[in-house]
Amino acid sequence: MLLPEKALTLFGRDAFGFDVSGSDFDVFGPDFDVSGPDVMTPQGNGTVSIPAGEETLMSRIADLDSGRAIREHEFRAAVGCYASGLTVVAALDEMGNPAGLTCQSFSSLSLEPPLILVCIGRRSSSWARIEPTGRFGVSILAEEQQEICAAIGRSGGDKFGSIDWHASADGAVHIEGALATINCRISTIHDGGDHLVVIGEVMGLTVRDAGAPLLYFRGNFGTGAS
């Protein structure tokens, strides 16, 4: 089963010292109590219990018919229910150094021509180094790559120092052991509010023939394991 109803394995925050509070990817937000007994109960051992009943997180939050503005933590809680895989978007910058960020918001877009898209926060210093090069690589992460995901999802510092990676001939950076890699030329960049919608023209691919994905759901990492 993708994500068990009763126990979701948590990585990130404590295990890797990765604090998503206040970041773009703190799904629940700093002021949102996810510890209510009717929602999820931290077990102190890296898991939370989720009651088997019908009550969900959404039932406690936004009344979207009330006409009031949608609060940030409500928005995060709702969109965080969309489970996704995780990728690393990375390239050699103009100095020849690896630059990259963890990116949940990846999607295939078009088959003819082959296009993908990623949504990049406008404040990303990594993207500011990637964009001028005109190309990037997307590495689709495998289940055993949570630490890599957290390391490259942090802002600043030497993100690649302790990670196995290599650069392709065209300057895309690939994470070793990824399920697949996709080399892109930046095609167009569109306004997406506080993000950029970056469309990449696919120039090359590698695909591993086995392996399970690293997943992201309600602000936590998980795996496809039952």
Residues that bind ligand FMN (CB under 6 A): 24-25, 86, 101-105, 119-121, 124-126, 149, 153, 155-156, 216
- Residue 129 near residue 94 (C-beta atoms within 8 A): yes
CB nearer to ligand FMN: pick between 24 and 60: 24
Report how far residue 164's alpha carbon sits from residue 73's, in angstroms, rounded to the nearest whole number: 35
Nearest approach in angstroms of CB 129 to ligand FMN is 8
CB nearer to ligand FMN: pick between 29 and 51: 29
Amino acid in the structure at residue 127: W
Nearest-CA neighbor of 88 among 143, 164, 152? Answer: 152
Nearest-CA neighbor of 141 among 81, 221, 61, 80? Answer: 221
Nearest approach in angstroms of CB 52 to ligand FMN is 27
Token pair for 35: 């510890």
CB nearer to ligand FMN: pick between 22 and 55: 22
CB nearer to ligand FMN: pick between 171 and 219: 219
- Residue 29 near residue 61 (C-beta atoms within 8 A): no
Nearest approach in angstroms of CB 96 to ligand FMN is 18
Nearest approach in angstroms of CB 169 to ligand FMN is 24
Nearest approach in angstroms of CB 119 to ligand FMN is 5
The strand ranges marked E within the chain are 7-9, 41-42, 47-49, 84-85, 87-92, 98-103, 106-110, 115-121, 135-140, 165-167, 173-175, 180-192, 195-207, 214-217, 220-223
Angle (CA) 207 104 39, round 5°: 125
CB nearer to ligand FMN: pick between 24 and 51: 24
- Residue 216 near residue 86 (C-beta atoms within 8 A): yes
CB nearer to ligand FMN: pick between 51 and 75: 75
Nearest approach in angstroms of CB 197 to ligand FMN is 11
Nearest-CA neighbor of 138 among 101, 73, 87, 96? Answer: 87
